[in-house]
Amino acid sequence: MGSVALSTAPRFLVIGAGSRGHAYARAVTASTDGLIAAVAEPEAFKVQEFGRAYIWRDGQPRDGQAFSDWQDFIDWELQRRAGAGTVEHNASQLPITGVFICTLDETHAPIIRALAPLNLHIMCEKPLALSMSDCLSISSALAPYPPKVFSIGHVLRYSPHNILLRDLLVNQQAIGEIVSIEHTEPIGWWHFSHSYVRGNWRRATRGGVGSLLTKSCHDIDFLLWLLCSPSELIGDSPHLPSTITSSGNISHFRRARKPKKAGLATNCADCAAEPDCIYSAKKVYRDRFLRQAKDTGWPVKIVVPEIEDIVKHAGWDRAEDSLMNKLKEDYTADTPDEVKASRGWYGRCVYESDNNVVDDQLVTMTWEEDALNNETLGRGPKQALFHMTYPTQAQCDRRGRIYGSNGEISYDSKTISVYTFHDQQTKVHTIPKQNPEIEKSHGGGDWGLAGAFVRAVQAVDDGSMSVVEAQREYVGCDLEECIRSHAVVFAAEDARLLKNVVDYRDWWARAEASMKASLAG
Protein backbone atom coordinates (compact mmCIF):
# COMPACT_ATOMS: atom_id res chain seq x y z
CA MET A 1 0.00 0.00 0.00
CA GLY A 2 1.40 3.37 -1.03
CA SER A 3 1.33 6.77 0.55
CA VAL A 4 -1.18 8.66 -1.57
CA ALA A 5 -2.64 11.70 0.20
CA LEU A 6 -6.20 11.16 1.41
CA SER A 7 -7.42 14.10 -0.69
CA THR A 8 -6.11 12.49 -3.90
CA ALA A 9 -6.71 8.83 -3.13
CA PRO A 10 -9.46 7.25 -5.25
CA ARG A 11 -12.69 7.08 -3.28
CA PHE A 12 -15.18 4.27 -3.80
CA LEU A 13 -18.83 3.62 -3.08
CA VAL A 14 -19.77 -0.01 -2.43
CA ILE A 15 -23.35 -0.81 -3.42
CA GLY A 16 -24.40 -3.92 -1.52
CA ALA A 17 -22.86 -4.76 1.87
CA GLY A 18 -23.08 -8.54 1.55
CA SER A 19 -20.25 -11.05 1.31
CA ARG A 20 -18.96 -9.78 -2.05
CA GLY A 21 -19.10 -6.16 -0.92
CA HIS A 22 -17.03 -7.07 2.13
CA ALA A 23 -14.57 -9.08 0.03
CA TYR A 24 -13.74 -6.16 -2.26
CA ALA A 25 -13.77 -3.58 0.53
CA ARG A 26 -11.33 -5.72 2.50
CA ALA A 27 -9.03 -6.04 -0.49
CA VAL A 28 -9.14 -2.33 -1.37
CA THR A 29 -8.50 -1.26 2.23
CA ALA A 30 -5.67 -3.71 2.91
CA SER A 31 -3.76 -3.70 -0.36
CA THR A 32 -4.33 -0.47 -2.29
CA ASP A 33 -4.25 3.31 -1.93
CA GLY A 34 -8.00 3.43 -2.52
CA LEU A 35 -10.51 4.43 0.15
CA ILE A 36 -13.92 2.92 0.79
CA ALA A 37 -15.77 6.18 1.26
CA ALA A 38 -19.45 5.21 1.24
CA VAL A 39 -21.89 2.31 1.28
CA ALA A 40 -25.39 1.90 -0.16
CA GLU A 41 -27.39 -0.89 1.50
CA PRO A 42 -31.05 -1.15 2.60
CA GLU A 43 -30.44 -3.28 5.72
CA ALA A 44 -29.48 -1.02 8.64
CA PHE A 45 -27.49 -3.71 10.44
CA LYS A 46 -25.35 -4.37 7.35
CA VAL A 47 -24.74 -0.64 6.90
CA GLN A 48 -23.44 -0.27 10.46
CA GLU A 49 -21.33 -3.40 10.27
CA PHE A 50 -19.79 -2.36 6.94
CA GLY A 51 -19.23 1.24 8.02
CA ARG A 52 -17.50 0.23 11.25
CA ALA A 53 -15.21 -2.09 9.32
CA TYR A 54 -14.15 0.21 6.48
CA ILE A 55 -15.50 3.78 6.67
CA TRP A 56 -16.34 5.53 9.93
CA ARG A 57 -14.77 2.88 12.18
CA ASP A 58 -15.61 3.76 15.81
CA GLY A 59 -17.39 6.98 14.93
CA GLN A 60 -20.73 7.69 13.27
CA PRO A 61 -21.54 8.07 9.56
CA ARG A 62 -21.25 11.59 8.20
CA ASP A 63 -23.28 13.01 5.37
CA GLY A 64 -22.46 11.19 2.14
CA GLN A 65 -21.13 8.03 3.76
CA ALA A 66 -24.27 5.85 4.04
CA PHE A 67 -27.22 5.48 1.69
CA SER A 68 -30.35 3.35 1.87
CA ASP A 69 -29.93 2.24 -1.74
CA TRP A 70 -28.20 3.15 -4.99
CA GLN A 71 -30.94 5.56 -6.05
CA ASP A 72 -30.48 7.41 -2.77
CA PHE A 73 -26.80 7.86 -3.64
CA ILE A 74 -27.59 9.10 -7.15
CA ASP A 75 -30.02 11.69 -5.79
CA TRP A 76 -27.49 12.83 -3.19
CA GLU A 77 -24.66 13.00 -5.74
CA LEU A 78 -26.71 15.08 -8.16
CA GLN A 79 -27.48 17.52 -5.34
CA ARG A 80 -23.82 17.60 -4.34
CA ARG A 81 -22.77 18.41 -7.88
CA ALA A 82 -25.41 21.09 -8.17
CA GLY A 83 -24.11 22.77 -5.02
CA ALA A 84 -20.41 22.22 -5.65
CA GLY A 85 -19.84 25.83 -6.65
CA THR A 86 -21.76 27.41 -3.80
CA VAL A 87 -20.51 28.77 -0.47
CA GLU A 88 -22.69 26.22 1.31
CA HIS A 89 -20.91 23.32 -0.36
CA ASN A 90 -19.19 21.18 2.24
CA ALA A 91 -15.55 20.96 1.27
CA SER A 92 -15.24 17.68 3.17
CA GLN A 93 -17.65 16.05 0.73
CA LEU A 94 -14.97 14.82 -1.64
CA PRO A 95 -16.40 13.22 -4.77
CA ILE A 96 -16.77 9.48 -5.24
CA THR A 97 -14.27 8.22 -7.83
CA GLY A 98 -15.75 4.84 -8.62
CA VAL A 99 -18.31 2.24 -7.65
CA PHE A 100 -18.23 -1.43 -6.70
CA ILE A 101 -21.61 -3.01 -7.56
CA CYS A 102 -22.17 -6.03 -5.30
CA THR A 103 -25.93 -6.43 -5.33
CA LEU A 104 -28.20 -9.23 -6.53
CA ASP A 105 -27.64 -10.22 -10.16
CA GLU A 106 -30.91 -8.86 -11.53
CA THR A 107 -30.08 -5.34 -10.31
CA HIS A 108 -26.72 -4.96 -12.08
CA ALA A 109 -28.00 -3.69 -15.42
CA PRO A 110 -30.50 -1.16 -13.98
CA ILE A 111 -27.86 0.18 -11.59
CA ILE A 112 -25.22 0.64 -14.29
CA ARG A 113 -27.69 2.31 -16.64
CA ALA A 114 -28.72 4.70 -13.86
CA LEU A 115 -25.10 5.46 -12.93
CA ALA A 116 -24.02 6.10 -16.53
CA PRO A 117 -24.72 9.88 -16.53
CA LEU A 118 -22.57 10.29 -13.40
CA ASN A 119 -19.57 9.07 -15.43
CA LEU A 120 -17.88 7.08 -12.64
CA HIS A 121 -15.43 4.21 -12.85
CA ILE A 122 -17.35 0.94 -12.36
CA MET A 123 -16.52 -2.54 -11.08
CA CYS A 124 -19.52 -4.85 -11.32
CA GLU A 125 -19.72 -8.24 -9.63
CA LYS A 126 -20.39 -11.11 -12.04
CA PRO A 127 -22.58 -11.76 -13.88
CA LEU A 128 -22.84 -8.47 -15.71
CA ALA A 129 -26.55 -9.02 -16.42
CA LEU A 130 -29.11 -11.80 -16.76
CA SER A 131 -29.75 -11.49 -20.51
CA MET A 132 -27.84 -10.66 -23.65
CA SER A 133 -30.09 -7.67 -24.31
CA ASP A 134 -29.30 -6.24 -20.86
CA CYS A 135 -25.55 -6.72 -21.43
CA LEU A 136 -25.77 -4.81 -24.72
CA SER A 137 -27.97 -2.15 -23.11
CA ILE A 138 -25.17 -1.46 -20.62
CA SER A 139 -22.77 -0.79 -23.46
CA SER A 140 -25.29 1.53 -25.10
CA ALA A 141 -25.95 3.38 -21.83
CA LEU A 142 -22.25 4.08 -21.19
CA ALA A 143 -21.35 4.93 -24.80
CA PRO A 144 -22.46 8.63 -24.85
CA TYR A 145 -20.22 9.59 -21.93
CA PRO A 146 -16.43 10.02 -21.68
CA PRO A 147 -14.83 6.58 -21.22
CA LYS A 148 -14.12 5.38 -17.69
CA VAL A 149 -12.51 2.23 -16.32
CA PHE A 150 -14.86 -0.75 -16.33
CA SER A 151 -14.22 -4.07 -14.66
CA ILE A 152 -16.22 -7.23 -14.02
CA GLY A 153 -15.90 -9.75 -11.16
CA HIS A 154 -14.18 -12.41 -13.27
CA VAL A 155 -11.78 -13.15 -10.43
CA LEU A 156 -10.18 -16.18 -12.09
CA ARG A 157 -8.14 -13.86 -14.32
CA TYR A 158 -6.41 -12.31 -11.31
CA SER A 159 -5.14 -15.17 -9.13
CA PRO A 160 -1.35 -15.73 -9.17
CA HIS A 161 -1.96 -19.36 -10.21
CA ASN A 162 -3.97 -18.47 -13.30
CA ILE A 163 -1.74 -15.57 -14.30
CA LEU A 164 1.19 -18.02 -14.36
CA LEU A 165 -0.87 -20.60 -16.28
CA ARG A 166 -1.72 -18.09 -19.00
CA ASP A 167 1.87 -16.92 -19.18
CA LEU A 168 3.06 -20.49 -19.71
CA LEU A 169 0.47 -21.11 -22.41
CA VAL A 170 0.29 -17.84 -24.30
CA ASN A 171 3.59 -16.06 -23.77
CA GLN A 172 6.08 -18.88 -23.20
CA GLN A 173 4.17 -21.37 -25.40
CA ALA A 174 5.38 -24.08 -23.00
CA ILE A 175 3.44 -26.83 -24.81
CA GLY A 176 3.31 -25.28 -28.27
CA GLU A 177 0.02 -24.88 -30.08
CA ILE A 178 -3.01 -25.57 -27.88
CA VAL A 179 -5.09 -28.42 -29.28
CA SER A 180 -7.70 -28.89 -26.56
CA ILE A 181 -8.49 -28.19 -22.94
CA GLU A 182 -10.62 -29.92 -20.30
CA HIS A 183 -11.60 -27.66 -17.41
CA THR A 184 -13.73 -28.62 -14.40
CA GLU A 185 -15.36 -26.53 -11.72
CA PRO A 186 -16.13 -28.80 -8.75
CA ILE A 187 -18.68 -26.79 -6.82
CA GLY A 188 -18.87 -29.06 -3.79
CA TRP A 189 -21.81 -31.10 -2.61
CA TRP A 190 -22.96 -28.97 0.34
CA HIS A 191 -21.93 -25.66 -1.29
CA PHE A 192 -24.26 -26.32 -4.21
CA SER A 193 -27.13 -27.09 -1.83
CA HIS A 194 -26.48 -23.84 0.04
CA SER A 195 -26.38 -21.49 -2.94
CA TYR A 196 -28.25 -23.21 -5.77
CA VAL A 197 -30.90 -25.36 -4.08
CA ARG A 198 -31.78 -23.32 -0.98
CA GLY A 199 -30.13 -19.99 -1.67
CA ASN A 200 -30.34 -16.89 -3.85
CA TRP A 201 -29.34 -18.57 -7.12
CA ARG A 202 -31.67 -21.58 -7.12
CA ARG A 203 -34.00 -20.26 -9.82
CA ALA A 204 -33.27 -19.76 -13.50
CA THR A 205 -33.90 -16.40 -15.15
CA ARG A 206 -36.99 -15.73 -17.23
CA GLY A 207 -34.95 -16.80 -20.25
CA GLY A 208 -34.05 -20.12 -18.65
CA VAL A 209 -30.43 -19.23 -17.84
CA GLY A 210 -29.23 -20.73 -14.57
CA SER A 211 -26.12 -21.84 -12.72
CA LEU A 212 -23.84 -21.65 -15.77
CA LEU A 213 -24.31 -17.88 -15.67
CA THR A 214 -24.50 -17.23 -11.94
CA LYS A 215 -21.78 -19.68 -10.87
CA SER A 216 -19.59 -20.42 -13.86
CA CYS A 217 -19.59 -17.40 -16.17
CA HIS A 218 -16.07 -16.64 -14.96
CA ASP A 219 -15.01 -20.19 -15.90
CA ILE A 220 -16.21 -19.61 -19.45
CA ASP A 221 -14.40 -16.26 -19.36
CA PHE A 222 -11.28 -18.06 -18.04
CA LEU A 223 -11.30 -20.42 -21.04
CA LEU A 224 -11.77 -17.55 -23.49
CA TRP A 225 -8.96 -15.65 -21.74
CA LEU A 226 -6.63 -18.62 -22.24
CA LEU A 227 -7.66 -19.49 -25.78
CA CYS A 228 -8.79 -16.41 -27.67
CA SER A 229 -8.27 -13.17 -25.70
CA PRO A 230 -6.17 -10.54 -27.48
CA SER A 231 -2.43 -11.07 -26.93
CA GLU A 232 0.90 -10.79 -28.75
CA LEU A 233 0.41 -14.34 -30.00
CA ILE A 234 -3.24 -14.14 -31.00
CA GLY A 235 -3.25 -10.48 -32.06
CA ASP A 236 -5.56 -7.59 -31.21
CA SER A 237 -8.51 -9.28 -32.87
CA PRO A 238 -9.87 -12.11 -30.69
CA HIS A 239 -9.98 -15.64 -32.08
CA LEU A 240 -13.68 -16.28 -31.55
CA PRO A 241 -15.28 -19.73 -31.14
CA SER A 242 -17.05 -21.29 -34.10
CA THR A 243 -19.57 -23.63 -32.46
CA ILE A 244 -21.00 -24.12 -28.97
CA THR A 245 -22.95 -27.07 -27.57
CA SER A 246 -24.15 -27.84 -24.05
CA SER A 247 -26.09 -30.38 -22.01
CA GLY A 248 -27.12 -30.43 -18.37
CA ASN A 249 -29.58 -31.83 -15.86
CA ILE A 250 -30.96 -31.56 -12.36
CA SER A 251 -29.46 -34.90 -11.53
CA HIS A 252 -30.10 -35.03 -7.79
CA PHE A 253 -31.97 -32.18 -6.12
CA ARG A 254 -35.55 -33.13 -6.96
CA ARG A 255 -38.45 -34.86 -5.25
CA ALA A 256 -37.76 -38.20 -6.94
CA ARG A 257 -34.52 -38.46 -4.93
CA LYS A 258 -36.14 -37.71 -1.56
CA PRO A 259 -35.56 -40.46 1.04
CA LYS A 260 -38.79 -42.40 1.71
CA LYS A 261 -38.23 -42.00 5.44
CA ALA A 262 -38.63 -38.22 5.04
CA GLY A 263 -42.31 -38.62 4.18
CA LEU A 264 -44.10 -35.30 3.75
CA ALA A 265 -41.52 -33.23 5.66
CA THR A 266 -40.37 -30.08 3.90
CA ASN A 267 -37.94 -28.77 6.55
CA CYS A 268 -34.95 -30.35 8.28
CA ALA A 269 -36.30 -29.29 11.69
CA ASP A 270 -39.08 -31.89 11.66
CA CYS A 271 -37.81 -34.56 9.25
CA ALA A 272 -37.44 -38.22 10.32
CA ALA A 273 -34.67 -38.69 7.73
CA GLU A 274 -32.63 -35.70 8.97
CA PRO A 275 -30.15 -37.65 11.17
CA ASP A 276 -29.05 -39.69 8.16
CA CYS A 277 -29.18 -36.93 5.52
CA ILE A 278 -25.90 -35.36 4.43
CA TYR A 279 -27.80 -32.22 3.38
CA SER A 280 -29.31 -31.68 6.82
CA ALA A 281 -29.31 -27.93 7.48
CA LYS A 282 -28.54 -28.68 11.12
CA LYS A 283 -25.40 -30.57 10.13
CA VAL A 284 -24.22 -28.04 7.57
CA TYR A 285 -24.79 -24.76 9.43
CA ARG A 286 -25.01 -25.60 13.12
CA ASP A 287 -22.81 -28.67 13.62
CA ARG A 288 -20.08 -28.12 11.03
CA PHE A 289 -19.60 -24.37 11.29
CA LEU A 290 -21.14 -22.95 14.45
CA ARG A 291 -20.42 -25.78 16.91
CA GLN A 292 -17.29 -27.49 15.61
CA ALA A 293 -15.43 -24.65 13.90
CA LYS A 294 -16.81 -21.74 15.95
CA ASP A 295 -17.06 -20.03 12.58
CA THR A 296 -19.62 -17.25 12.14
CA GLY A 297 -18.51 -16.30 8.63
CA TRP A 298 -19.83 -17.64 5.33
CA PRO A 299 -22.16 -19.56 5.04
CA VAL A 300 -23.63 -19.09 8.55
CA LYS A 301 -23.51 -15.32 8.13
CA ILE A 302 -25.63 -15.63 5.00
CA VAL A 303 -28.36 -17.33 7.04
CA VAL A 304 -28.14 -14.93 10.02
CA PRO A 305 -26.31 -11.73 8.95
CA GLU A 306 -26.06 -10.43 12.54
CA ILE A 307 -24.62 -13.71 13.92
CA GLU A 308 -21.25 -12.19 14.86
CA ASP A 309 -22.88 -9.44 16.90
CA ILE A 310 -25.09 -11.99 18.65
CA VAL A 311 -22.04 -14.05 19.66
CA LYS A 312 -20.22 -10.93 20.84
CA HIS A 313 -23.03 -9.54 22.96
CA ALA A 314 -25.14 -12.58 23.93
CA GLY A 315 -22.92 -15.63 23.53
CA TRP A 316 -22.79 -18.81 21.46
CA ASP A 317 -25.97 -20.37 22.86
CA ARG A 318 -28.06 -17.36 21.86
CA ALA A 319 -26.40 -17.39 18.42
CA GLU A 320 -27.33 -21.05 17.99
CA ASP A 321 -30.92 -20.30 19.00
CA SER A 322 -31.09 -17.54 16.39
CA LEU A 323 -29.66 -19.82 13.74
CA MET A 324 -32.07 -22.65 14.49
CA ASN A 325 -35.06 -20.30 14.50
CA LYS A 326 -34.02 -19.09 11.07
CA LEU A 327 -33.59 -22.62 9.76
CA LYS A 328 -37.09 -23.57 10.94
CA GLU A 329 -38.65 -20.96 8.67
CA ASP A 330 -40.52 -22.60 5.80
CA TYR A 331 -43.19 -21.95 3.21
CA THR A 332 -46.35 -23.80 2.25
CA ALA A 333 -48.34 -24.38 -0.90
CA ASP A 334 -50.28 -21.20 -0.12
CA THR A 335 -47.21 -18.95 0.14
CA PRO A 336 -47.17 -16.40 -2.74
CA ASP A 337 -44.44 -17.15 -5.25
CA GLU A 338 -42.90 -13.70 -4.92
CA VAL A 339 -42.42 -14.35 -1.20
CA LYS A 340 -40.83 -17.74 -1.85
CA ALA A 341 -38.52 -16.27 -4.48
CA SER A 342 -37.38 -13.40 -2.25
CA ARG A 343 -35.69 -15.52 0.43
CA GLY A 344 -33.15 -18.29 0.82
CA TRP A 345 -35.08 -20.77 3.05
CA TYR A 346 -31.87 -22.40 4.27
CA GLY A 347 -33.65 -25.03 6.39
CA ARG A 348 -35.82 -26.22 3.49
CA CYS A 349 -35.51 -29.85 2.36
CA VAL A 350 -33.23 -29.96 -0.68
CA TYR A 351 -35.63 -32.42 -2.30
CA GLU A 352 -38.65 -30.15 -1.76
CA SER A 353 -37.17 -26.86 -2.89
CA ASP A 354 -38.34 -24.68 -5.79
CA ASN A 355 -34.92 -24.92 -7.45
CA ASN A 356 -34.75 -25.36 -11.23
CA VAL A 357 -31.07 -24.81 -12.12
CA VAL A 358 -28.94 -27.71 -13.35
CA ASP A 359 -26.39 -29.28 -11.00
CA ASP A 360 -24.26 -30.96 -13.68
CA GLN A 361 -23.49 -29.36 -17.04
CA LEU A 362 -21.09 -29.74 -19.96
CA VAL A 363 -20.19 -27.02 -22.45
CA THR A 364 -18.13 -27.70 -25.58
CA MET A 365 -16.60 -24.93 -27.68
CA THR A 366 -14.75 -25.38 -30.97
CA TRP A 367 -12.52 -23.03 -32.93
CA GLU A 368 -11.73 -23.14 -36.63
CA GLU A 369 -8.37 -22.07 -38.01
CA ASP A 370 -8.29 -18.29 -38.33
CA ALA A 371 -4.97 -17.16 -39.80
CA LEU A 372 -3.78 -13.66 -38.93
CA ASN A 373 -1.23 -12.12 -41.31
CA ASN A 374 -0.61 -15.60 -42.75
CA GLU A 375 0.28 -16.90 -39.29
CA THR A 376 -1.81 -19.64 -37.65
CA LEU A 377 0.11 -20.10 -34.38
CA GLY A 378 -2.32 -19.41 -31.58
CA ARG A 379 -5.25 -19.23 -34.00
CA GLY A 380 -5.41 -22.84 -35.12
CA PRO A 381 -8.34 -25.25 -34.68
CA LYS A 382 -8.95 -26.27 -31.07
CA GLN A 383 -11.60 -27.43 -28.63
CA ALA A 384 -12.53 -26.70 -25.03
CA LEU A 385 -14.69 -28.79 -22.71
CA PHE A 386 -16.04 -27.23 -19.53
CA HIS A 387 -17.63 -29.36 -16.82
CA MET A 388 -19.56 -27.84 -13.92
CA THR A 389 -20.62 -30.42 -11.35
CA TYR A 390 -21.90 -30.51 -7.78
CA PRO A 391 -21.01 -33.94 -6.16
CA THR A 392 -17.40 -33.21 -5.30
CA GLN A 393 -15.20 -33.07 -2.22
CA ALA A 394 -13.35 -30.07 -3.63
CA GLN A 395 -15.14 -26.75 -3.34
CA CYS A 396 -14.49 -24.47 -6.31
CA ASP A 397 -10.85 -25.66 -6.58
CA ARG A 398 -10.74 -25.79 -10.35
CA ARG A 399 -8.75 -28.47 -12.14
CA GLY A 400 -7.97 -29.27 -15.73
CA ARG A 401 -5.70 -30.59 -18.43
CA ILE A 402 -4.45 -28.83 -21.55
CA TYR A 403 -3.12 -30.69 -24.58
CA GLY A 404 -0.62 -29.00 -26.90
CA SER A 405 1.45 -29.86 -29.93
CA ASN A 406 4.64 -30.05 -27.83
CA GLY A 407 3.36 -31.32 -24.48
CA GLU A 408 0.56 -31.21 -21.95
CA ILE A 409 -0.30 -29.32 -18.78
CA SER A 410 -2.33 -30.49 -15.79
CA TYR A 411 -3.40 -28.03 -13.12
CA ASP A 412 -5.40 -27.67 -9.97
CA SER A 413 -5.73 -24.55 -7.86
CA LYS A 414 -2.28 -24.93 -6.30
CA THR A 415 0.11 -26.49 -8.82
CA ILE A 416 0.75 -26.54 -12.57
CA SER A 417 2.55 -29.55 -14.08
CA VAL A 418 4.12 -29.14 -17.52
CA TYR A 419 5.20 -32.26 -19.45
CA THR A 420 7.16 -31.65 -22.66
CA PHE A 421 7.57 -34.23 -25.41
CA HIS A 422 11.05 -33.24 -26.54
CA ASP A 423 12.75 -34.16 -23.22
CA GLN A 424 9.97 -36.26 -21.66
CA GLN A 425 10.35 -34.28 -18.45
CA THR A 426 7.77 -32.84 -16.08
CA LYS A 427 8.26 -29.47 -14.43
CA VAL A 428 5.97 -28.66 -11.51
CA HIS A 429 5.18 -25.03 -10.73
CA THR A 430 3.92 -24.46 -7.20
CA ILE A 431 2.37 -21.14 -6.29
CA PRO A 432 3.99 -19.71 -3.13
CA LYS A 433 1.81 -19.60 -0.04
CA GLN A 434 -0.05 -16.33 0.41
CA ASN A 435 -1.60 -14.68 3.41
CA PRO A 436 -4.54 -16.97 4.36
CA GLU A 437 -6.93 -14.02 4.16
CA ILE A 438 -5.85 -13.43 0.55
CA GLU A 439 -5.68 -17.10 -0.43
CA LYS A 440 -9.21 -17.95 0.67
CA SER A 441 -10.55 -15.20 -1.60
CA HIS A 442 -10.54 -17.18 -4.84
CA GLY A 443 -6.84 -17.99 -4.56
CA GLY A 444 -6.00 -14.29 -4.37
CA GLY A 445 -8.29 -13.43 -7.28
CA ASP A 446 -10.48 -11.04 -5.27
CA TRP A 447 -7.46 -9.06 -4.15
CA GLY A 448 -5.87 -9.15 -7.58
CA LEU A 449 -9.04 -7.89 -9.24
CA ALA A 450 -9.63 -5.11 -6.71
CA GLY A 451 -6.00 -4.02 -6.90
CA ALA A 452 -6.01 -3.99 -10.71
CA PHE A 453 -9.19 -1.90 -10.79
CA VAL A 454 -7.89 0.64 -8.27
CA ARG A 455 -4.53 0.97 -10.08
CA ALA A 456 -6.32 1.48 -13.39
CA VAL A 457 -8.50 4.20 -11.85
CA GLN A 458 -5.43 5.92 -10.39
CA ALA A 459 -3.56 5.80 -13.70
CA VAL A 460 -6.49 7.35 -15.58
CA ASP A 461 -7.26 10.00 -12.98
CA ASP A 462 -3.66 11.15 -12.63
CA GLY A 463 -3.32 11.36 -16.41
CA SER A 464 -0.50 8.83 -16.75
CA MET A 465 -2.61 6.51 -18.91
CA SER A 466 -5.62 6.67 -21.17
CA VAL A 467 -8.62 4.51 -20.30
CA VAL A 468 -7.75 2.14 -23.16
CA GLU A 469 -4.18 1.77 -21.88
CA ALA A 470 -5.27 1.26 -18.26
CA GLN A 471 -7.90 -1.30 -19.25
CA ARG A 472 -5.33 -3.38 -21.10
CA GLU A 473 -2.42 -2.87 -18.69
CA TYR A 474 -4.22 -3.38 -15.38
CA VAL A 475 -7.76 -4.71 -15.88
CA GLY A 476 -6.68 -6.94 -18.77
CA CYS A 477 -9.90 -6.55 -20.74
CA ASP A 478 -12.59 -4.02 -21.57
CA LEU A 479 -16.38 -3.94 -21.53
CA GLU A 480 -16.58 -5.39 -25.04
CA GLU A 481 -14.60 -8.45 -23.95
CA CYS A 482 -16.75 -8.81 -20.80
CA ILE A 483 -19.89 -8.82 -22.93
CA ARG A 484 -18.36 -11.27 -25.40
CA SER A 485 -17.64 -13.84 -22.70
CA HIS A 486 -21.19 -13.46 -21.35
CA ALA A 487 -22.47 -13.98 -24.90
CA VAL A 488 -20.81 -17.41 -24.97
CA VAL A 489 -22.67 -18.32 -21.75
CA PHE A 490 -26.03 -17.23 -23.20
CA ALA A 491 -25.29 -19.08 -26.45
CA ALA A 492 -24.40 -22.22 -24.47
CA GLU A 493 -27.69 -22.02 -22.57
CA ASP A 494 -29.56 -21.65 -25.85
CA ALA A 495 -27.75 -24.76 -27.08
CA ARG A 496 -28.72 -26.68 -23.92
CA LEU A 497 -32.36 -25.63 -23.90
CA LEU A 498 -32.87 -26.19 -27.65
CA LYS A 499 -30.59 -29.25 -27.82
CA ASN A 500 -28.73 -27.95 -30.85
CA VAL A 501 -25.32 -26.77 -32.03
CA VAL A 502 -24.97 -22.99 -31.99
CA ASP A 503 -23.03 -21.26 -34.74
CA TYR A 504 -21.49 -18.60 -32.52
CA ARG A 505 -20.78 -15.94 -35.16
CA ASP A 506 -24.32 -16.19 -36.49
CA TRP A 507 -25.73 -16.15 -32.94
CA TRP A 508 -23.72 -13.01 -32.07
CA ALA A 509 -24.79 -11.24 -35.27
CA ARG A 510 -28.45 -11.95 -34.51
CA ALA A 511 -28.05 -10.71 -30.91
CA GLU A 512 -26.53 -7.43 -32.10
CA ALA A 513 -29.20 -6.98 -34.77
CA SER A 514 -31.94 -7.59 -32.22
CA MET A 515 -30.46 -4.99 -29.89
CA LYS A 516 -30.15 -2.39 -32.67
CA ALA A 517 -33.74 -3.03 -33.70
CA SER A 518 -34.99 -2.55 -30.13
CA LEU A 519 -33.07 0.72 -29.80
CA ALA A 520 -34.45 1.96 -33.11
CA GLY A 521 -37.97 1.05 -32.01
> pLDDT tens-digit profile of 139-154?
999 999 999 999 999 9
DSSP string, 404-450: ETTEEEEE-SSEEEEEETTTTEEEEEEPPP--HHHHTTGGGHHHHHH
Average pLDDT on 152-162 reads 94
Does the residue 179 lie in any domain? yes
Q: Which of residues 126, 148, 170 is at a domain's end?
A: 148
Could you tell me if 185 and 110 lie in one domain? no
Could you tell me if 404 and 508 lie in one domain? yes
Does the residue 444 lie in any domain? no
Q: Say how far apart CA 380 and CA 367 lie, in whole Å.
A: 7
Higher pLDDT residue, 519 or 178? Answer: 178
Could you tell me if 52 and 120 lie in one domain? yes
Residue 87 has pLDDT above 60, yes or no: no
* DSSP H/E element including 497: helix 479-498
Residue 90 has pLDDT above 60, yes or no: no
Taking only the tens place, the pLDDT of each residue in 429-453 is: 998 876 666 666 667 889 899 999 9
Does the residue 475 lie in any domain? no
Q: What CATH code is carried by the domain that includes residue 38?
A: 3.40.50.720
Residue 512 has pLDDT above 90, yes or no: no
Does the residue 5 lie in any domain? no
Could you tell me if 278 and 165 lie in one domain? no
* CB-CB contact of 102 with 39 (8 Å): no
Could you tell me if 195 and 320 lie in one domain? no
Does the residue 100 lie in any domain? yes
Could you tell me if 47 and 186 lie in one domain? no
3-state secondary structure of 400: strand
Q: Which of residues 317, 341, 365 is at a domain's end?
A: 341
pLDDT at 88: 45
CA dihedral 388, 389, 394, 398 (to 10 degrees): -10
Average pLDDT on 383-400 reads 96
**Which of 11-20, 103-112, 193-202, 227-236 has the lowest average pLDDT?**
227-236
Does the residue 114 lie in any domain? yes
Q: Which of residues 101, 116, 148 is at a domain's end?
A: 148
Average pLDDT on 246-254 reads 96
Domain hosting 36: range is 11-148
Q: Which runs of E-coded beta strand occur in 146-251?
A: 150-152, 178-186, 243-249
Q: What CATH code is carried by the domain that includes residue 507?
A: 3.30.360.10
Could you tell me if 84 and 219 lie in one domain? no
Could you tell me if 47 and 182 lie in one domain? no
Residue 371 has pLDDT above 80, yes or no: no
Could you tell me if 27 and 91 lie in one domain? yes
Q: Say how far apart CA 469 and CA 210 lie, in whole Å.
A: 34
pLDDT at 419: 98
Which residues, at least 6 apart from 229, have a Cβ–Cβ distance to it below 8 Å? 238, 477, 481
**Which of 12-26, 222-236, 474-488 has the lowest average pLDDT?**
222-236
pLDDT at 89: 46
Q: Say how far apart CA 425 and CA 427 lie, in whole Å.
A: 7
Does the residue 512 lie in any domain? yes
Could you tell me if 118 and 177 lie in one domain? no
Could you tell me if 24 and 123 lie in one domain? yes
pLDDT at 421: 98
* DSSP H/E element including 39: strand 35-40
Could you tell me if 315 and 277 lie in one domain? yes
Does the residue 315 lie in any domain? yes
- Number of compact structural domains in the chain: 3
